[in-house]
Amino acid sequence: MSQLPSAFALHDERFHELVGLKPSLELLLEHKEYPFAHEAGVYLPSTNEIFITSNQYFNSSGQRCIQISKISAGDAKRLTREEIPSDDVPMANGGINYKDGILFCAQGTETKPSGLYYMSATPPYTSTLLISSFYGRAFNSVNDVVIHSDGSIWFTDPIYGYEQGFRPKPELPNQVYRYDPVSKGIRAMADGFGRPNGIAFSPDEKVVYVTDTDWIHGDGSTDGMRPSTIYAFDVSYYSGQPFMTNRRLFAMAANGIPDGIKCDMKGNVYSGCGDGINVWCPGGVLLGVIKVKGGAANFCFGREGSLYILNEHRMWKAQLAKSVRGALLRI
């Protein structure tokens, strides 16, 4: 095997097959004014565009805000970034492809509800609130979301918004939920987390992964005794309904927290951590790391092994083996 570029740290020989013969890491965009590239990462194959959300920052009026951006994902020399009206998706965070647009997690504010918001992918980018409470009890600060093939919406709801001072006192535990947009039914699926964050299904949807980022709290404090962990659950059915069963520790991040999480079609698990994108095999063995200084909160797969990495003030593109396919879009 040829030696990998310095940006690709090998921990298991299987990483060679995953990254291919000519892996690369390329800086696509940089914006110094605010951390524009933090969460979501929703690739639209029909237009070759990526919707992302910024980290929190204070605008010129001194207001805390999060900005949604649309990135053209063509040739690096012709990349453009468009700021999308974001007020109707209060404090946006994670997102996923949904119908013809994007389903965003909104963390909410003191006066605007946290919940799931559907936004159109074209101007005027209208948004609609799908759900904001568990039978009347307001969500804390909805963080990340994934769609099951049966149409149900699974999402995480930690208390980061309250800890960071822009949400009311929590009314619910730190939990994972399942929402049925047809019946409008909402179920609590799993509890016992410090701070549930990223969520993803295995390609066959038999396993659901949830990251617990309790290592860092909303006030910025960290504690090495708290979880920085990916948990795996089996998706089991009883009386025709899914349950998250057989909870087990899948992997722990050695550097920072495992934030956003996704799988490829072979079941390998990718997560944005303090040193970049960590990749584990389905059995929980760390295969390698795509090293990005400053780490990565989230990322998304594009076409044929392309991986778009969100690195706060920078956005990168890693090129893996062209045979790699993300499990969400399978392209």
DSSP string spanning 119-186?
E-SSTT--EEEEE-EETTEEPS----EEE-TTS-EEEEE-SHHHHTTSSPSPSS-SEEEEE-TTT--E
The answer to pTM > 0.75 is yes
- Tokens representing 202 are 């295995």
Return the pLDDT at 83: 97
Q: Which residues, other chains included, contact 197 with Cβ-Cβ below 8 Å and sequence gap of 6+?
A: 143, 144, 156, 158, 210, 211, 212, 213, 257, 258, 259, 260
Residue 172 burial (C-beta neighbours within 10 Å; 0-12, 13-18, 19+): middle
Return the pLDDT at 179: 98
Is the confidence at residue 75, as pLDDT, over 70?
Answer: no
Task: Label residue 257 by pLDDT band (50, 70, 90).
Answer: very high
Task: Give the H or E element holding residue 287.
Answer: strand 286-291
Return the pLDDT at 2: 64
Return the pLDDT at 73: 74
Average pLDDT of span 233-242: 98
Q: Which domains does the chain have, with CATH numbers?
A: 31-252 (2.120.10.30)
Single out the residue of 95, 37, 96 nearest to residue 69, CA to CA.
37
Under DSSP, is residue 77 helix (H, G, I), strand (E, B) or coil?
A: helix
Beginning with the edge strand found earlier in the chain, give each strand of the sheet holding 153-157 in spatial order.
145-147, 153-157, 175-179, 186-190
Average pLDDT of span 64-79: 84
- Tokens representing 266 are 């072979």
> 243 near 278, Cβ under 8 Å?
no
Task: Give the H or E element holding residue 18.
Answer: helix 14-19
Is the confidence at residue 236, as pLDDT, over 80?
Answer: yes
Alpha-carbon span 131 to 70, nearest angstrom: 24
Alpha-carbon span 196 to 142, nearest angstrom: 10
Residue type, 199: I
Task: Label residue 79 by pLDDT band (50, 70, 90).
Answer: confident
Average pLDDT of span 285-291: 98
Average pLDDT of span 308-321: 98
Return the pLDDT at 3: 83
Alpha-carbon span 56 to 303, nearest angstrom: 29
Q: In the chain, how long is the greatest CA-to-CA distance? A: 58
Mean pLDDT of the chain: 96
Q: How many CB atoms lie within 10 A of CB 80?
A: 11
Is the confidence at residue 137, as pLDDT, over 90?
Answer: yes
Better pLDDT: 16 or 76? 16
Is the confidence at residue 99, as pLDDT, over 80?
Answer: yes
Is the confidence at residue 77, as pLDDT, over 80?
Answer: no
